A and B are shown apart, each in its own frame.
Chain A
Amino acid sequence: MQLKRLSLAALAAAALTSLPAQAQTEIQWWHSMTGGLNDWVVDLANGFNASQKDYKVVPTYKGSYDESMTASIAAFRAGNAPHILQVYEVGTATMMAARGAVVPVGKVLADAGYKFEPKAYIPAVVGYYTAPSGQMLSFPFNSSTTVLNYNKDLFRKAGLDPNRPPSTWPELVGAAAKLKASGVACPFTTSWQSWTQLESFSTWHNTLFATQNNGFGGNGARLIFNSPLHVRHIENLANMAQQGLFHYRGRGNKGDAPFYSGECAMATASSSTYASIKKNAKFEFGIAPLPYYPEVPGAPQNTIIGGASLWVMAGKKPAEYKGVAAFFNYLTNAEIQAKSHQRTGYLPITLASFKLSEDSGFYKQNPGTDTAVNQMIRKTTDKSRGVRLGNFNQIRAIMDEELEQVWAGKKTAKQALDDAVKRGNEQLARFEAANK
């Protein structure tokens, strides 16, 4: 299917290029979007290519996020990296540290004469990809955040109000117990356990996940997600697991499928699951903000972003950078942004596109789609801007490993989080040593 689509796109592109006599500058864009999202990427490139004659953006699917990143690092070492590379948020610190390998997007835009207005963007989104100096390093492309999906049909069956999803963790435990009593095998599960239960959990409670403002303040950050609040939350989930209220369904996005199939009644997941739920679910569903602990001061604050941004690789010709800048400028257009947001469920990246979606009545017609936006649009604090740490891919794997020990009953929450912090800090020290 995908191959066919790709080859069709390639044919179409070939047909287009053979027409104009004058040579176009080609811009290579490597990405990791599959299925409907791949169509979206191809449409964006085609839209840009049709809007002008000088440049041609060529999108290429290069495998999952970590695969395409490995591929472009290998390509960079061999001297033929793409112009634009889509990198997931976990890889942000690695890309930031690779000073000789990337060109800040702010510089690319300014050099080509485009004005870059940071205030036009949603703060938590643009803040994540901005250097301490205020320079925008990469172009926010597809951003999502953490939400609570729930099955309204199962809520009704359990005698719960389908329009009042649990807003706090104690409420969620109560709802899960009722769901279980009504015969639901899996009342609650989660995807991306470290992202939803520790990272976003921290900013949502305005509590630090790591020192140095979660790594935004510069080097030398150390993990501190073994605070009493974190331990309490993981303990809470461990108790839920023991009572059969929380079912662990695996790492990464493995928790999504049992929610789509109607097996699990509630799931904390990425807001980008919206399109897939809408397509797959044979039940009425709702999207609620992440639950919180009401007695924690400052909660709820804001959740943090996931997804990916576009990085510009170094060592290309000036004309090509002009093309990259023109393409990014095209992508910031409010209407294109709003269309992308409504089509994919990713966050609107500029405030104007959010406004445009609101005015067009999109959120009224598609209830729940504004949940993610509302969680993100607030003014962020130093503690809640996001988590940006080196070797974060490995740290997430460590958190997965340690949390699994808790769900299996082999370690207490405190012990597992202490161990995760200790092992994660070794990764941070190692990253600093390699990127002096």
Chain B
Amino acid sequence: MAVEKRVRFRSWWLPWVLLAPQVAVIAVFFFWPAGQALLQSLQQQDAFGLSVEWVGLDNFRRLLADESYLDSFQTTALFSVLVAGLGLSLSLALAVFADRVLRGAGVYKTLLIWPYAVAPAVAGVLWLFMFAPSIGIVSYALRGLGYEWNHLLNSGQAMALIVFAAVWKQISYNFLFFLAGLQSIPKSLIEAAAIDGAGPWRRFWTVVFPLLSPTTFFLLVINVVYAFFDTFAIVDAATEGGPGKDTAILVYKVYYDGFKALDLGGSAAQSVVLMVIVVALTVVQFRYVEKKVNY
């Protein structure tokens, strides 16, 4: 049975008035800066903005000719998959456990939500301290176990470090949503499955996980966006993109070129590229992944 979801308005102006606040917010915080980025990506200007020159697509051409820029796509893909994958699975596991805890649940949940209050740069520094090759407590312990930790020169370790920091920072957010999702699943469904003889593992995969899929899908989109956009401060604090350029993800280069190198045109061109990628990814997610979601 098809239900008519749409509300019909009599007057032509009322919907617009009701929409106006939302449109205004989007216009000021998204369309205006995005338009600026598009505009600046076609310009070349000096740091002080004293001379502005239209250069057409030169900024983009230069980017595509830069091998290190193309490499950083791979770096970013790896980083995002690791952050979203690890972040989602770890926090799902934690949420499932928290959901079963009877005593001390409040303390457990509070501790898990805490890292969300930590700024990304601080998260980067915290992890850097623990893993600093000569003074870090973790790298010291690892050395005791015979494993040499030096993320200053070992790219795999450097990548692991920023992934840890980024995941740790995001787990709280994911955890909150998963926990809320779990708590909204009717107990009767799980009990019914239990009576039918399904063990905890089976109950989770056949009942709980499918019912969680809207939450999981929402978090997948959010986490991909997070990995793409919000992680530059972690990279800046922990590795500065090194060794070499091996942890220089796309958004870090946008930040570096724009704010440290003061190359606004080049930085804007990269933002536009990044914007296109994330829009494309989100479209893909909504078109293909969303079909597997049961609301």
Q: Interface code A78-94, partner B: CB below 8 Å = 1, 0 otherwise?
A: 00000000000000001
CB nearest neighbor in B for A101: B48
B134 beta carbon closer than 8 Å to chain A: yes
Which of A70, A250, A261, A434 makes the CB contact (< 8 A) with B45? A434
Instruction: Please determine whether A393 and B260 come into contact, CB atoms closer than 8 angstroms.
Output: yes
Contact of A263 among B134, B240, B241 (CB under 8 A): B134
Q: Which residue of B lies closest to A72 (CB)?
A: B48
Contact B46 A434 (CB under 8 A): yes
Kindly supply a per-residue 1/0 record for chain A positions 376-419, scoring 1 wherever the CB is within 8 Å of any chain B CB and 0 otherwise.
00000000000000010110010011101101101000000000
Interface string of B227-240 (1 = CB under 8 A from A): 00000000000001
User: Which A residues, 419 to 435, have Cβ-Cβ distances below 8 Å to chain B?
Assistant: 423, 430, 433-435
Q: Which residues of B contact A407 (CB under 8 A)?
A: 153
Complex Cα–Cα for A359 and B201 (A)? 83
Knowing A98-B47, A101-B50, A435-B46 are in contact, say whether A404-B263 is a contact too (CB < 8 A). no
Question: 13 extra interchain contacts, Cβ-Cβ under 8 A, other than A94-B47, A408-B155, A423-B68?
Answer: A70-B260, A73-B47, A77-B48, A94-B262, A248-B153, A251-B242, A401-B241, A401-B244, A407-B153, A433-B44, A434-B44, A434-B51, A434-B265
How far is A161 from B18 in the complex, measured between Cα atoms in Å?
Answer: 82
B154 within 8 A of A: yes
A-B contact pairs, 23 of them (CB 8 A): A70-B260, A76-B48, A76-B49, A99-B50, A100-B48, A101-B48, A186-B134, A248-B153, A251-B242, A258-B134, A391-B261, A393-B260, A393-B261, A394-B261, A404-B242, A404-B243, A405-B244, A407-B153, A408-B153, A408-B155, A430-B263, A434-B265, A436-B51
Question: Contact: B50 with A404, CB < 8 Å?
Answer: no
The answer, yes or no, to whether A249 is at the interface (CB within 8 Å) is yes
Any A CB within 8 A of the CB of B259:
yes
Residue B256, interface by CB 8 Å: yes
Q: Is A240 an interface residue (CB 8 A)?
A: no
Task: Check: B203 CB closer than 8 A to any chain A CB.
Answer: no
Give the CA-CA distance A137 to B271 in the complex, in Å.
35
CA distance A73 to B133 in the complex (A): 36
Which chain B residues border A261 with CB–CB below 8 Å? Answer: 135
Closest to A403 in B: B244
**Distance (Å) between the CB of B27 and the closest chain A CB?**
22
A404 touching B152, Cβ below 8 Å: yes
Contacts of A258 in B (CB 8 A): 134
Q: In the complex, which of the residues A76, A94, A97, A401 contacts B245, with contact meaning CB atoms closer than 8 Å? A: A401
Known contacts A258-B134, A407-B153; A401/B51 CB under 8 A: no
Task: Give chain B nearest CB distance to A88 CB in angstroms.
Answer: 12
> Is the pair A98, B50 in contact by a Cβ cutoff of 8 Å?
yes
Of all chain A residues, which has the CB nearest B45? A434
B242 touches A400 (CB 8 A): yes
- A interface, by DSSP: helix, strand, loop or mixed? helix
Determine whether A66 belongs to the interface, using a CB cutoff of 8 Å to chain B. Answer: yes
Chain B binding surface SS class: loop
CA distance A69 to B260 in the complex (A): 9
> A70-B262, A73-B262, A404-B242 are contacts. A248–B152 as well, Cβ < 8 Å?
yes
Instruction: List residues 185-215 of chain B with CB under 8 A from any CB of chain A.
Output: none
Give the nearest-CB partner of B58 in chain A. A433
Beta-carbon contact of B48 and A73 below 8 Å: yes
Bound complex: CA A394 to CA B259 (Å): 11
Cα distance, A168 to B47, chains bound together (Å): 41
Query: B residues within 8 A CB of A394?
Result: 257, 261, 263
Q: Report B's interface with A, CB cutoff 8 A.
A: 44-51, 53, 62, 68, 133-135, 152-155, 240-245, 256-257, 259-263, 265-266
Inter-chain contacts of A100 with B (CB < 8 A): 48, 50
Q: How far is the CB of A402 from chain B (nearest CB, A)?
A: 7
Write the chain A residue with the least CB distance to B153: A408
Q: Give the residues in chain A near B44, CB-CB below 8 Å.
A: 433-434
Query: Hey, what's the 0/1 contact readout for A286-320 against B, CB within 8 Å counting as 1?
Result: 00000000000000000000000000000000000
Closest-CB distance, A77 to chain B (whole angstroms): 5
B263/A405 in contact, CB under 8 A: no
Which residues A147-182 have CB closer than 8 A to chain B?
Answer: none
Q: Tell me the bound Cα distance from A94 to B47 in angstroms.
A: 8
CA distance A251 to B133 in the complex (A): 14
CB pair A408–B154 under 8 Å, yes or no, is yes
| Bound-complex Cα distance A430 to B262 (A) | 12
CA gap between A400 and B245 in the complex, in Å: 10
Residues of A within 8 A of B152 (CB): 248-250, 404
Q: Which of B46, B240, B260 contacts A98 (CB 8 A)?
A: B46
Pick the 9 closest A-B CB pairs, nearest first. Answer: A408-B153, A404-B243, A101-B48, A98-B48, A394-B261, A401-B244, A434-B46, A100-B50, A405-B244
- Find out whether the CB atom of A401 lies under 8 angstroms from the CB atom of B242: yes
Least CB distance, B235 to chain A, in whole angstroms: 13
Residue numbers in B under 8 Å from A423 (CB-CB) = 68
Name the distance in Å between A100's Cβ and chain B's nearest Cβ.
5
**B52 (CB) vs chain A CBs: closest residue:** A434
In whole Å, how far is A403's beta carbon from the nearest beta carbon of chain B?
A: 9
Q: Shortest Cβ distance from A90 into chain B, in angstroms?
A: 11
* Residues of B contacting A397 in the complex (Cβ-Cβ under 8 angstroms): 256, 261
B-side contacts of A248, CB under 8 Å: 152-153
Across-interface contacts of A251 in B (CB, < 8 A): 240, 242
Q: Nearest-CB distance from B60 to chain A (Å)?
A: 14
CB of A435 within 8 A of CB of B153, answer no
A97 and B49 CA atoms in complex are apart in Å by 12
- Measured between beta carbons, the chain B residues less than 8 angstroms from A263 are 134
What are the residues of chain B within 8 A of A99 when measuring CB–CB? 50
Q: How far is the CB of A426 from chain B (nearest CB, A)?
A: 8
The A58-81 residues at the B interface (CB cut-off 8 A) are 66, 69-70, 73, 76-77
Tell me how far the C-beta of B254 lies from the nearest C-beta in chain A, rounded to whole angstroms: 14
- Chain A residues lying within 8 Å of B153, measured Cβ to Cβ, are 248, 404, 407-408
A401 cross-chain contacts in B, Cβ below 8 A: 241-245
Q: Which residues of chain A are near B53, meaning CB under 8 Å?
A: 434
In Å, the complex CA distance between A402 and B244 comes to: 6
CB-CB under 8 A for A404 and B240, given A99-B50, A258-B134: no
CA–CA, A295 and B80, complex, Å: 52
Q: How far is the CB of B214 from chain A (nearest CB, A)?
A: 42
Question: Which B residues are in CB contact (< 8 Å) with A77?
Answer: 48-49
Beta-carbon nearest neighbor of B65 in chain A: A426
Q: How far is the CA of A249 from the CA of B68 in the complex (A)?
A: 24
Query: Which residues of A are found within 8 Å of B49, using beta-carbon distances?
Result: 73, 76-77
Which residues of chain A (106-126) have a CB below 8 Å from chain B?
Answer: none
Chain A residues contacting B266 (CB-CB under 8 Å) are 430
**Which residue of chain B is the closest to A407 with respect to CB atoms?**
B153
